[in-house]
Amino acid sequence: MKFIILLLGILVAACTLGHGQNHQTMKTRYYEKPIVEMTLNGKKTWVLLDTGSDITVFNLKSKDRYDFHAHQDFNQQIKVAGFGSRHNQLHQVTNARLYFGEMQLKSDFYAYDITNIVSSIRARTGKHVTAILGTNLMRQYGFVIDMGTNTVSIEYKVKKNKRSQKQDSELTIAKNTK
């Protein structure tokens, strides 16, 4: 009996600690197509969320404007079907910091000249897309695309470092003294 009570106490404590974590939801609206604003290397840009794409592809023609590097690794050739031809040689992307709100999205990024796709989307929506976000990254971060409400959201755990915890506690103390 003592064992069951102890086990129940541990279970209740674990559930309480798990629910006490600070989570935040980033949510944004889109119109017609799931194209959302993100930040690439500190610059605002539009990104298409494509559930039909397995990988995330940046427009190769945007590398200078957004300061990312794209190079071909001839030892490991990355090819995909699509973009109007049978197989396409992709470039590996480095030096790319992509953010959705305050959440940095980390993944393997690739680049290809998707100018025709960008032009087509711009003609229909007025938005200049820099990247196509694939399902690998959307699954990794739990993206929810709600077609009924035209919203995209992710929920993430807020990580606080010791410095920000100290600042928060100082602010709390200051607020409580007034």
pLDDT by residue, tens only, the chain of 178 residues: 665 665 556 665 555 555 556 778 888 999 989 999 999 999 999 999 999 999 999 999 999 999 999 998 766 666 666 655 566 778 999 999 999 998 999 999 999 999 999 999 999 999 999 999 999 999 999 999 999 999 999 987 766 654 444 444 333 333 333 3
Q: What share of the chain is helix, strand, coil (3-state, %, to 5)?
A: 35, 35, 30
| Residue 164 is assigned to a structural domain of this protein | no
Distance CA 48, CA 51 (A): 10
| Residue 4 is assigned to a structural domain of this protein | no
Q: Where are the alpha helices (DSSP H) in 109-178?
A: 115-125, 135-141, 162-177
Domain that includes residue 77, residue range: 35-141
Distance CA 39, CA 108 (A): 17
DSSP-derived letter for residue 83 is T
| Residue 18 is assigned to a structural domain of this protein | no
CATH number at residue 100: 2.40.70.10
| Residue 71 is assigned to a structural domain of this protein | yes
Q: Using CA of residue 122, residue 126, residue 128, residue 129, what is the dihedral sign?
A: negative
Work out how many domains the chain is built from and give that number.
Answer: 1
| Residue 59 is assigned to a structural domain of this protein | yes
| Residue 13 is assigned to a structural domain of this protein | no
| Residue 43 is assigned to a structural domain of this protein | yes
* pTM, 2 dp: 0.72
